[in-house]
Structure formats: C-alpha cells, structure tokens
Amino acid sequence: MKLKITLSQTDILPPVRGEHSLSKYKLDDQTYSVVFNLTKDCSTTKKFIRIMDTMLKEDIINCAYNFYPTVQVDTFIKMKQKMNWIIKELTARDDVPNPEEWTVLNEKSLETEVLKLNALHLYFEEVTKSVFEQDSLRTSPGYGEDSLLYVHLEEINQLVHSMEAWEPPVDLSFFGTTRIMTQHGAMEKQNLTDEDYNNFRTDFKWGDLTLDYLRVGKDLQTCFATNDTALVKTRGLCQQNTVHPSFEMRFIEETPDWTTDIESWIKYNNLDQYYDFSLPEFTSGRVVLGKIDMTGTTKEEVMKEIIKCTNLTNVELIDE
C-alpha cells in the first residue's frame, strides 16, 4: 500500500498553514507529488491504513496542514516581527488574557529566546482549551474556527514550532504535518495500545512518514527538548494517545538520538515524583508509517521541489 500526497507550489513565505476541502479544491498548474511506501507488518500502520481508507471515502474531506520549510535568517526576523504583532493584537482584546509583556521577542537578535517561546506556547494551549473546547463558545459569533482569534492562536503555535530549534541554515529541509477530517472537523481515531507504543522509534531517516502527534500540548520529549520542567511539575504533559488520519513528512537529515538523555534530565530535576515514567505511554518517538518511494527521482530533485511546496491539494491511498 502507498500514500500519495500532491502539493501546490504557490509562493508563500513560511510559516505555512492552511485548511481546505479536498473535494472542491482546484489543482494548481504547478504541483508536486511524493509517494510513500507504507510499512508492512506494522500493527499501527495497519490501523492507520484502515482509518485513512474510511476517511477518504467520505463525500467531503477537509485537510489541514502545517509546513515547516528551511527558514533563512531574514525570514526568522520576520517571524519574530509577526509574533510581536500577534502579541499586540491579543493584548488589545478584552475577551482573552493578555500575553505577558516579557514574551515580546527581540527583533534585532538571532537568539531563539526559548523561554519566551515556551510561555507563548503555554498561552496558546490555555486559551485554545478555554475557548475552543467549550461548545458554548466555539459556536458563538467571533469564536469559531474561522475567527480571527483562532487564526492568531494557530499562528502562535506555528511560529513557536518553526522558531524553537532554529539555527542559521546550512542544508535545505522540509517538515510537514497533515490532518484529514470530515467537513465538520471530525476524524476517526483509535486508542494506542502497549503494542503501538512498542512501535515508537527515534531513529528517523530522511524521507520518513510518521504518525503525527495530534494533541494540543507537549509530551515528555518536547518538554525535554525545550527544558520545560515547569509543565511536568504542574502535571501538564499530554502524551500521544491515538492512531488517527494525521501524518508527518520528514525531509530532514538524520540526526543523533537526542532523547537518550531524558532519563538523566528527569533525575536531575527530580521529575519522577510527578509521573511514573516507566509506563509505555512515555516511550519517546513516533511510529514510522512509511518511507518515500524514490523510483524515478533523486534526493536532490526531491529537495529542490519539496522546498517550494506551500499547500496540499490531494491525498490518496494506492493499493499495490
């Protein structure tokens, strides 16, 4: 079984996010497709295929995506400027808490200012949960998922993840997440089992397709990566807990397994009093659902084209 993803190359500066109906979307003249060979004999991948097959048979399918292409220096500064503008806009509102003044980013610095980004991500989590997880508010005028507030909160989330591990680029890379939903925003899900957590891996390769996280919040490995001990101490971890029609495209060079020091980090900060980290749900990594099919192409050609992609126009399962 294969998964084919078709992308538009309409020119848009990062961060890139969007949502549209696949059944109504007109394909651009300039598109690029990648095909992934889905992993055989993997219990989690089999669940993913069944769920995707069910979802793609719906009459109207909505697709939401977030793309993280290589960010150049000038774009990084523009992203800081954009974040500060959003902070200003939210501060002017009287229906949500104000972001803390100290979270305003230094637009003259190339530092990632990770502590400020952690605080901004927590702001995104808390306001999203307080507004958009309450039916009475979510359906109110000005508070729906097409509202300006929703857009600003999603932009904070997108900007934080685009900036938190940023360094002046040496090589091209592309990371993209895609979520398949019904026209009403619903999606098929299945709870992860211990067997699924045993399928988690951290040794990702260029061209891997992985199961997306799909939760509002941070899991243990993300807290470790950003040294966010405060979230662990408030018992705010959100571990990945479902198989769902949402996936990650990883066109990033292989890196060492940075999660090997999590245990030392937990002990050093005395965090094991807050959770039983021996439970399967705290396994680091993601499930590798598949790998790119390189038939008729090269790595250089893929990167040349994928780095231009800013939109997603179609997703399909192909039975071999």
Q: Tell me what pLDDT residue 18 has.
A: 78
> Do 213 and 310 share a domain, yes or no?
yes
Query: What's the average model confidence in pLDDT over 148-174?
Result: 88
Q: Does 139 score more than 70 pLDDT?
A: no
Q: Three-state DSSP class for 180? A: strand
Give domain status of residue 246, yes or no.
yes
pLDDT tier for residue 95 given thresholds of 50, 70 and 90: confident
> Do 100 and 11 share a domain, yes or no?
no
Query: What's the average model confidence in pLDDT over 175-191?
Result: 91
**End residue of a domain, out of 138, 170, 202:** 170
pLDDT tier for residue 146 given thresholds of 50, 70 and 90: low
Q: Read off the DSSP letter of residue 273.
A: T
What pLDDT digit, counting tens, does each position of 50-75 carry? 999 999 988 888 999 988 888 778 88
> Do 53 and 199 share a domain, yes or no?
yes
Which residues span the domain enclosing 266?
Answer: 1-70+185-320
Q: What is the pTM of this model?
A: 0.72
- Whole-angstrom Cα distance, residue 294 to residue 37? 10
Give domain status of residue 178, yes or no.
no
Q: Does 123 score more than 60 pLDDT?
A: yes
Q: Tell me what pLDDT residue 34 has.
A: 97
**End residue of a domain, out of 170, 195, 228:** 170
What pLDDT digit, counting tens, does each position of 257-295 carry? 778 899 999 999 999 999 999 999 999 999 999 999 999
> Do 199 and 231 share a domain, yes or no?
yes
Number of domains present in the structure of the chain: 2
Q: Three-state DSSP class for 165? A: coil
> Do 200 and 253 share a domain, yes or no?
yes
> Do 61 and 79 share a domain, yes or no?
no
> Do 100 and 249 share a domain, yes or no?
no
- Whole-angstrom Cα distance, residue 111 to residue 283? 30
Decide: 13 and 78 in contact? Cβ < 8 Å: yes
What pLDDT digit, counting tens, does each position of 31-49 carry? 899 999 999 999 999 999 9
> Do 51 and 87 share a domain, yes or no?
no
**Residue 53 CA from chain centroid, whole number:** 22
> Do 56 and 195 share a domain, yes or no?
yes
β 286-292/31-38 pair status = antiparallel
